[in-house]
Amino acid sequence: MAVKIACGMMAMLLTGAGVAGAQTAPRAAPAMTLGTAGYYEVPAANVLVFSNWYDGLFADSKISGVEIIQQGTRIATNGDVRLSSTPGQWDAIGRLVDRKVDAATGTITVTLEYPDYNWRYRIRSERRDGAVAVAVILDAPVPAALAGKAGFNLEFLPTAYFHHSYMADGRTGTFPIYPSDAMTATQERNAASGRNEGPGAEPTAIAQGNRFVLAPEDAARRVTISSTAPVQLFDGRNQAQNGWFVLRSLLPTGRTGTVLEWTIQPNSVPGWLRPPVIAHSQLGYAPTARKIATIELDRNDRRTLPARLLRIGDDGRMTPVRTAPAKRWGEYLRYSYLQLDFSAVHDPGLYVLEYGPTRTAPFRIATDAYAGAWHPTLDVYFPVAMDHMFVNEGYRVWHGDAHRDDARQAPVDHEHIDLYRQGPTTDTRFKPGEHIPGLAIGGWFDAGDFDIRTQSQYQVVRSLVDTWERWRPTRDTTAVDWTRRRTEMHVPDGTPDLLQQIRHGALQLVAQFDAVGHAIHGIVEPDVAQYTHLGDASTKTDGLIYDPSLKIGEEKHGRSGTPDDRWAFTSKVSALNYGSIAALAATSRALAEMDPALSKKALGIATKIWAEEQGHAPDLYSHGNTTGGPLDSERFAAAVELLRTTRDPRYAAAVQSLWPSIEAKFGAHLRDAVAAIPAMPASYRDAMIPAARAYAAAVQKDAAANPFGVPITTGGWAGSGTVLGTALNAYALHKAFPDIMPAAPVQRGLEFLLGHHPGSDISFVSGVGTVSKEVAYGNNRADFSFIAGGVVPGVLVIKPDFPENHEDWPFFWGENEYVIPEGAMWIELAHAAQDLTGETK
């Protein structure tokens, strides 16, 4: 997101802008090669063939199949056999069986299957001059049930083709900014959603032909596709806001062998170089802090350009500041890196960084650089996330009082959406479908969706309590009235906002124990159609408790015949009980003065449930990521928090007995282990020293693996949470063992979140830093907007080597979805960083 300075022919070389409109003679496309990284390459363009695969959480993550990276942007994905013209996130997708790369012949062969139809197919790709030929090969014909449905699709990123044209067999058209195509009625998608709201619909094709040229006028976006069968162009946004432009060819029925072949030719702009990125902290730096800017370069960029730090005067003059020359770091992923160290610059002021024609946005060097970094998260993000409340900000209503009709007992033996599942019994006194009273209180929307995931709730409560107990931030900018169920942002009410948020989370955890006697997995929408709701959360349901004796749409005596109430998943799980009572034990400390009654009740539940769990074999029901962490991890957390609250030797004994299993995976439990030190004998701390040394050494080793000095994950969900966790681990260990763990990893983690990361220099905390995430996957994502203070997952590594975070397309949930635990951790990390500067809060 660096600011580019126009520089004549140099800017044309960097962006290719001057090439697109040039009237030059046609040139031969460079030959495609199959590189050692396992994908097809020509200069400035790549074709990936199943280098990535879906991570199992959802069917469609927009990170697999045949993909095209062209002039620095991944413009196409999901090249695969699909069962509809514009499949959505929850629609069926083939299962990967194997992938074979033959470097000698330049071919990649992938075998996939649809197990429900007992049908396999192969997708084979090969080089063909400057293109890649992709064939669908069948050993068995398309099953009768899939006739007219199975087709080869390739999806194109809408924002890459807004304001562009296309040609289909010479016929012209332009890509629509907003979908407005004719639709065809169908019942099938509606049935799949599990919600009966009348007929569904499928979009009709925008265009058809055997040869498509996308963006013929723009060399950076031009792609040519030729097919042995007709290709249709669809706009998936007609069906869902996160839909893409889709090219699709139906597979013929009754045939085997090679039944379809596409030739895909990306365009390679001659001499194109990706513009440099100057990764740095968008928020700035404390005067004595380490200050490293990492310059990310195209590997073919052989220029030697000056890297400079400039101080901004009040007259606008940019004055160079003396620094050591930038040094080469080396290569990481697909880029080369230089680093400019300006740590010796301590003078407060406004600065920019420059590398050749690339200049950053301004940032500060100041003693209070980090002091307000957490304010948007506490002032805006968490209030907006509050469930069961009307949330208002000035003239704007973020959402009404949502989910007043919570919740109905989930059906037994039912696997649901979003990794929820109910076991063979309800483990409650309620029958499937019956209303469970008392759950319509407290809690936060888990993420960009609206469910209450208990595991997230207790993680957030504990994190907020840690912030309160370490730093006691008394900031008060939000009025919360639980009696009126109303939150008013930017209005003080005399109570620290952090304590109010702790109380709000605790209210939901307490309500679960009051309602059914144990922690539940969570509360989630009854079907996909409601789950994908965007907009005001209070409009998802009618707010009235379901009464099966009434007709759909009928309302009487405050009840409703519309079964739109969310479901509570209630299979008993010991891990969830332990995780929840850990949070309640912590809550009892934090709320002792603000709400003594709730404090006492929270501790009473925690001690009671702990005792109950010790009296029986653990309930080990497990499914997805909604049933808690490993049992010993959650038990250890509960023992630590109960010990910190009560100083009861029974809990100290539990901590000690669990230590051997915790020591074996120290990094995952480091903060809990360290938190117990003040309440444990000296021998406990001494026994921790070998694990602390080993962990510190591992952190140091990991820091050398990339130029950013933090662990960068490569899964389908990007790694801001891992970076936050590592930085907070380092802070806790530094405070407990300063001679073992230095403070530097805390600073590196903070800087990564604020812009010092691969792919761009944008801050991953919306509203924090000069240039931050302004298009994100919040519940307002359909507006291409953001929620201030939300933290996004960040850099997603498209395997093997492409770091990505889209600022133009919010619907990449693995890159852009806010989740509440990361928000709470960010509040902690910002305080920790300010604490380490030695300055006042």
Task: Quickly list H helices, 517-614.
Answer: 528-531, 574-590, 596-614
The tokens for 248 are: 């699709």
pLDDT at residue number 12: 33
**Does residue 774 contact residue 783 with C-beta atoms inside 8 Å?**
no
Write the CB contacts of 22 (distance below 8 Å, at least 6 apart in sequence).
none
pLDDT at residue number 841: 34
Give the burial class of 611: count Cβ atoms within 10 A of its Cβ; 0-12 exposed, 13-18 middle, 19 or more buried: exposed
Strand pairing category for 257-266 and 327-332: unpaired
- Strand partners for 66: 49, 79
pLDDT at residue number 9: 32
The tokens for 727 are: 């930085």
**Does residue 519 contact residue 576 with C-beta atoms inside 8 Å?**
yes
Euclidean distance between CA atoms 729 and 735, whole angstroms? 10
Across the range 528-551, mean pLDDT stands at: 94
pLDDT at residue number 60: 80
Sorted by where each starts, the structural domains of the chain and their CATH numbers stand as 17-266 (2.70.98), 277-365 (2.60.40.10), 649-841 (1.50.10.10)
Residue-wise pLDDT for 484-519, tens only, equals 999 999 999 999 999 999 999 999 999 999 999 999
> Which position has the token pair 């159609």?
529
Q: Which DSSP category does 677 fall into?
A: G
* pLDDT at residue 6 tops 50: no
Question: What DSSP assignment string belongs to 329-383?
Answer: EEEETTEEEEEEE-TT----EEEEEEETTEEPPPEEE-TTTTTTTTHHIIIIIHH
**Does residue 22 contact residue 36 with C-beta atoms inside 8 Å?**
no
What is the SS3 assignment for 231? strand
Give the burial class of 567: count Cβ atoms within 10 A of its Cβ; 0-12 exposed, 13-18 middle, 19 or more buried: buried
> Which position has the token pair 């307000």?
372
Euclidean distance between CA atoms 571 and 833, whole angstroms? 41
pLDDT at residue number 201: 84
Euclidean distance between CA atoms 710 and 504, whole angstroms? 33
The tokens for 679 are: 């309440």
Euclidean distance between CA atoms 620 and 575, whole angstroms? 8
Q: What is the pTM of this model?
A: 0.94
Euclidean distance between CA atoms 708 and 293, whole angstroms? 9
Task: Name which of 17-26, 384-393, 591-600, 787-796 the model is least confident about.
Answer: 17-26
pLDDT at residue number 2: 42
For 148, other C-beta atoms within 10 Å of its C-beta total 10
Across the range 748-762, mean pLDDT stands at: 98
* pLDDT at residue 539 tops 50: yes
pLDDT at residue number 186: 78
H or E element at residue 682? helix 682-703
H or E element at residue 132? strand 131-138
Euclidean distance between CA atoms 66 and 64, whole angstroms? 6
**Does residue 519 contact residue 454 with C-beta atoms inside 8 Å?**
yes
Q: Write the CA distances from 444 to 107, 381, 451, 552, integer angstroms.
A: 49, 10, 8, 29
How many Å is the maximal CA-CA distance in the chain?
84
Residue-wise pLDDT for 219-269, tens only, equals 999 999 999 999 999 999 998 999 999 999 999 999 999 999 999 999 999
* pLDDT at residue 569 tops 70: yes
**Does residue 266 contact residue 76 with C-beta atoms inside 8 Å?**
no
Is the preceding omega at residue 407 within 30 degrees of 0, hence cis? yes
The tokens for 87 are: 């499949």
Across the range 656-679, mean pLDDT stands at: 97
Tell me the residue length of the chain: 841
Selection from 300, 545, 238, 491 nearest residue 380 by Cα: 491
* pLDDT at residue 177 tops 70: yes
Task: Name which of 189-198, 539-548, 558-567, 604-613 the model is least confident about.
Answer: 189-198
* pLDDT at residue 582 tops 70: yes
Across the range 673-688, mean pLDDT stands at: 98
Sequence-ordered strand ranges (E) for 252-341: 257-266, 277-279, 284-285, 292-298, 307-312, 318-321, 327-332, 335-341
* pLDDT at residue 715 tops 90: no
Is the preceding omega at residue 800 within 30 degrees of 0, hence cis? yes
Q: Which DSSP category does 465 fall into?
A: H
* pLDDT at residue 181 tops 90: no
pLDDT at residue number 18: 35
Candidate ranges 88-97, 179-188, 751-760; pick with highest mean pLDDT: 751-760
**Does residue 243 contact residue 90 with C-beta atoms inside 8 Å?**
no
Across the range 17-44, mean pLDDT stands at: 73
Selection from 363, 376, 276, 283 nearest residue 754 by Cα: 283
pLDDT at residue number 56: 59
Selection from 794, 638, 789 nearest residue 724 by Cα: 794
* Summary mean pLDDT of the chain: 93
